[in-house]
Structure 1
Amino acid sequence: MKCCRCFFPWLSDEQGEPEEVPQVPTFEDNLQRRCFSEASRQLIGREDCLFGIGQWKQDEEAELKQDYENLWEGIEQTIRKSLQPLDQSEQGALKEAVLAIQQEEEQDMRWEESEEQKRPDWRPQRFRYAHDSLLEEMVTERMQEAEPYPGGGSSVESELIGLGRRIKLDMLQVARQVRGCYPGNVGVCQVYIRFYHQAFRARLTELSEFGLDQPDCTHLLSWTNQHYPSILQEPELASEVNIKLLEPLLPADVLRSLEEQYLEHRETELKKCVQNALQMAEQAWRGGATQMIDGCYFSPLAIDIIQCVDGNLKSCQAVLGDDLTHTHTHKLLATLTLFFRSYQDFLEKVMKQSGAHSRPVVMANLTCLRQFREFVTGEASFPKDVRTTCVSLVTNMRDGCHAHLTSIIHQNLKESYRKLWSHNWLQNSERVCEQLQGGLNTHLQDLTALDYTSRQELLGVLHEEVLLEYVRRMMKRKIKLKDKQQQEQAARALCSDNQDIQTVFIQAGSTEGWISRVLPELAELLKIQDPDTIHLQLLTLTRELPDISVSHVSALLQLRCGLSDRDYPITDSPWQLGRLHCFFYGVK
């Protein structure tokens, strides 16, 4: 007979002591080690055995039910730590908890196919529902415990900042550590943000019912439209959170009421700002002092107003965000239109005063008008009708200032103008033009106190008006060009005067060259002798100077003895818009 060592070789001397068979961890072991998925599988196996045979003892059922409760308690404790920094062990436990929840959900689904009386009384467990309810409870508690930000200006602002910081930090924790513990199809970031959104929405609605003062109204709108959405746009959250699935933070009627309160405040502040700026400008004018910067007359009015308007627009954009509508902007900028009308009244009062101080004030405000025009035309947020109205008002004011400044110059040049196209001019045109040039140079030197761009604009206007006065004097027909010699002499003088006047303005800084072709064209008509060529030149004039009329041609032809418009009939050209139209329209 063989000995027992033949049947059990591990008992032989060669093998030494028998190896200890590893023990399978019990449910309690797995629960203690937070191996929740294995613990869940064990309970499911026991449940299947117990209820599969159709007969079981009540004490076994009670024990199994208690174990399930212990399992959920362990899972709950692990999940409650999710929003704290997690080490690898904690992350592993959370993964186990999530896996166990999935297994229990699958077991619920299997039991749904069985008759209700055959199911355990704890089925369905609804661990996923319990999980979501737990997250909602956790979020609610954390939002209630959020510390107000100590640097806030008011209790509302401090609370909003504190709540916002809580949401941001917790959601970043979810994105960085918690999300990896859940399957992708769970969308755990979306689950968490839904609960944070609900809690934040409830608190904002409560605050809005308190009758907020203006600063707190602004803070509430800023968080609604800007700060809170910016949290959801954090790079780590943007791809995980679908904003479209979230309710508006505030009910539509509440939001509209707050926006109206905010816009009324901004409109009031803007009105105060522009009124104060205009009052300061008027006080400076009445005080008789005009600032000079870099040798140019200067008024801070445009800078003050533009900064005020721009600041209000940017504040509205920051507070209202995408809710800043065309209607909102239109209402706010209506204040600017009203300001320009008051500003126009102010400039008219200045120009009605004949004192020596009016001219520097007008020159300083020409710079302001240029700055206003650049701002209005360059600001994309301006509604089209507001921009059109503002540009029209600014242009009218600029033209009025130009007319005021040039009228003073023309008044002082009246004696020089009177000598043009007289017998004295025909005999000595150079001397007459030199006198005109000298007067012009004196006045143009004074215009150096304008900023460069405004000076160029005014020089262009003055150049046109000087030539307009020149042609007007020419068409008064004080002299008759009796023969070819006088006609050629007058044509040469006309071209020479044109060149001299052009030189004066170019040296002064003018870049307007279009008007310089008017006098040479008229000079050509004076010196041509051939009747057919005269007719061709008239046709050229009507083409080059499309605003010239029959009365203009008649006056030109009558400068030459023996010619009239009856000899060279032309059709009266249609008046066209353009600079030459404006020029010849002024020739009477």
Structure 2
Amino acid sequence: MVESRLMKTAEEDQNGPDGLSSDLKREDDLLTVVRMVKDCYPRQIDILNLYAGLYHQSFSARLTELAGSGLETDDCRYLLLWINHYYPHEILNHEDLEGKINTACLGSLLLEDHLDQLEDQYDHKEVIDGSLAEFSCVIRDQSKAQRITVHLESFLSSYKKCVEEFVKGDHSNIHSVVKAHLVCEEQFRDYITGQTGSLSEQQRRGCVETLSALWDCGCRCFIDPIYIELKVCFHDLWTSNWLKGSLPVIDSLLDFLNQKLSDLSDLKPACRQSVLGILHEVVVIRYVKKMMNTRKKIDQQMAAQRITEDAQKINSFFKDEDCTQSLWLGQMLCSLAEILRLQDPESVQLEIISVARAFPDLGDDHVTALLSLKSGLTAADIRSIRQSVKENGTLDASTNHSPLFFSKVKVQRINNVIKQMRLKT
């Protein structure tokens, strides 16, 4: 009867679309035995284990036949997953069967040689192309899995070169490919950081560095075109019309970003949030760069108010997009606005020191650029503030874990020269 059930399934598979799936999943028969048939026989017959043994033998014969039939990679993966995970963990340990079947007497579904051959066929290149989360389930011997994962570092290096070459090309499907790549990068990272014994610390660090470079490469595909257009969006920033509010610079910018973000709607949430976080930083970097490289002295109180309003609008935009990890950028902008608002030299000095301690990469060129925007400070005040920031601004640098920001804001050298000349007059 057991053999006839499997033969019937095999015949159905020849005409059906499910292939190996229906050929293997006959756990319903065992559940029927335990739920409806078992109590019809005397206990000493142990009908459940009798049926389980017969099914196990028939399964083994059928699997041996399938394993020797020249399976494609997907079928090979499915068969290994079924043998090493689904059958022992999902079927024999089903809540209705757990503890009722003597699994120790069943033995292996495939002979060791056949199983080794099947796993060898499922080589490491195919594993990497597939799902890493599935890998440990497919390969029963984790030492074999470890021998494969040691090749990840060289593979990722080659993969990185391929991705970098691809994004340089003119491909119509580049965005869809990069979106898939970002998902793969996330899976790789989860897999590698979760490994405890198969990778050395040096290998893990090398893999993570390569993955970070891959991630940056993918993000640049979406962000670089936007970054180029930001220069146009910020053209009227720090002008009298921006200061008066007659030019909605930030409102226009956010409308532009809203249109661009529609291209990211189908990204996985985690990937999308990361890309948005980078975009948020890029926007604020461009904003601060425009501010620090300006040659104009304008009303400081009005400028401080406008910067604060802009920071709130930008933060609200990204918060509405569920990007909350980068909201510190708005707080940083408000701190810069406070530096402009304050007029007392000592208060200005304390505020700049506070910013320097929060962001140890705030350099003297940035401090000079900020001070050059203020009109109420004497040359002596400016020298004193700069010196105090140098002496006191990095006291907490060794324990500070704030992200780098100001090191990404380049202050043009020619503007520095002009500002230095102003400070001496």
Given the two structures, how large is their TM-score scaled by the length of structure 1? 0.46
C-alpha displacement of 1:547: 2.4
Among all aligned residue pairs of Structure 1 and Structure 2, give the percentage whose two residues are the same amino acid: 29
C-alpha displacement of 1:373: 1.5
**Separation in structure 2 between the aligned mates of residue 418 and residue 267 of structure 1, nearest angstrom:** 61
Provide closer, same or farther for how the CA distance between residues 437 and 151 of structure 1 changes in structure 2, counting only shifts above 3 A: closer
Kept in 2, the 8 Å contact 1:475–1:556? The answer is yes
Which of 111, 117, 124 aligns to 1:271? It is 124
Give the aligned residue type for 1:530. D
Give the aligned residue type for 1:362. V
> 1:543 corresponds to which residue?
357
Which of 270, 285, 288 aligns to 1:468? It is 285
C-alpha displacement of 1:466: 0.8
- Residue 168 of structure 2 corresponds to residue 352 of structure 1: yes
> 1:377 corresponds to which residue?
193
Give the aligned residue type for 1:315. R
Kept in 2, the 8 Å contact 1:263–1:332? The answer is no
**Separation in structure 1 between the aligned mates of residue 372 and residue 284 of structure 2, nearest angstrom:** 20
Kept in 1, the 8 Å contact 2:359–2:404? The answer is no
C-alpha displacement of 1:307: 5.5
CA displacement 1:62-84 (0-9 Å, x = unmatched): xxxxxxxxxxxxxxxxxxxxxxx
C-alpha displacement of 1:430: 5.5
Q: Partner of 1:571: helix, strand, or coil?
A: helix
> 1:431 corresponds to which residue?
248
C-alpha displacement of 1:546: 2.8
Which of 155, 159, 184 aligns to 1:343? It is 159
> 2:341 corresponds to which residue?
527
- Residue 276 of structure 2 corresponds to residue 450 of structure 1: no
> 1:78 corresponds to which residue?
none
Kept in 2, the 8 Å contact 1:416–1:432? The answer is yes
Consecutive unaligned residues of structure 1, counting only runs of 5 or more, are 1-148, 159-217, 223-233, 238-257, 278-303, 318-323
- Residue 276 of structure 2 corresponds to residue 459 of structure 1: yes
Kept in 1, the 8 Å contact 2:276–2:323? The answer is yes
CA displacement 1:518-542 (0-9 Å, x = unmatched): 1110000101111221222222222
Give the aligned residue type for 1:270. D
Q: Partner of 1:426: helix, strand, or coil?
A: helix
- Structure 2 matches for 1:61-72, cutoff 5 A? none
Give the aligned residue type for 1:488. Q
Provide closer, same or farther for how the CA distance between residues 438 and 383 of structure 1 changes in structure 2, counting only shifts above 3 A: same
Kept in 1, the 8 Å contact 2:343–2:376? The answer is no
Kept in 2, the 8 Å contact 1:362–1:401? The answer is yes
Q: Partner of 1:561: helix, strand, or coil?
A: coil
- Structure 2 matches for 1:195-344, cutoff 5 A? 269-274=122-127, 277=129, 304-306=130-132, 309-311=135-137, 314-317=139-142, 324=143, 330-344=146-160
CA displacement 1:459-482 (0-9 Å, x = unmatched): 11111111111111110023113x
- Structure 2 matches for 1:165-184, cutoff 5 A? none
> 1:415 corresponds to which residue?
232
**Separation in structure 1 between the aligned mates of residue 225 and residue 400 of structure 2, nearest angstrom:** 26
**Separation in structure 2 between the aligned mates of residue 264 and residue 356 of structure 1, nearest angstrom:** 41
Provide closer, same or farther for how the CA distance between residues 507 and 399 of structure 1 changes in structure 2, counting only shifts above 3 A: same
> 1:503 corresponds to which residue?
316
Give the aligned residue type for 2:371. L
C-alpha displacement of 1:266: 5.2
Which of 393, 397, 406 aligns to 1:584? It is 406
- Residue 217 of structure 2 corresponds to residue 404 of structure 1: no
**Separation in structure 1 between the aligned mates of residue 269 and residue 263 of structure 2, nearest angstrom:** 13
Give the aligned residue type for 2:123. L
- Residue 301 of structure 2 corresponds to residue 488 of structure 1: yes
RMSD: 3.8
Structure exhibiting the larger radius of gyration computed from Cα positions: 1
Q: After TM superposition, which residue ranges in structure 1, 4 or more long, deviate above 4 angstroms?
A: 149-154, 262-268, 572-581
Q: Partner of 2:123: helix, strand, or coil?
A: helix
C-alpha displacement of 1:400: 1.7
C-alpha displacement of 1:358: 1.0
Kept in 1, the 8 Å contact 2:182–2:271? The answer is yes
Higher relative contact order (CA 8 A, sep 6+): 2
Q: What is the aligned residue count?
A: 309
Give the aligned residue type for 1:411. I
Q: Partner of 2:252: helix, strand, or coil?
A: helix
Consecutive unaligned residues of structure 2, counting only runs of 5 or more, are 1-56, 66-79, 85-98, 103-111, 411-425
Provide closer, same or farther for how the CA distance between residues 579 and 430 of structure 1 changes in structure 2, counting only shifts above 3 A: farther
Q: Partner of 2:265: helix, strand, or coil?
A: helix
C-alpha displacement of 1:491: 0.1
**Separation in structure 1 between the aligned mates of residue 221 and residue 257 of structure 2, nearest angstrom:** 16
Give the aligned residue type for 2:348. I
Provide closer, same or farther for how the CA distance between residues 364 and 538 of structure 1 changes in structure 2, counting only shifts above 3 A: same
**Separation in structure 2 between the aligned mates of residue 379 and residue 522 of structure 1, nearest angstrom:** 43
Q: Partner of 1:465: helix, strand, or coil?
A: helix
Kept in 2, the 8 Å contact 1:274–1:339? The answer is no
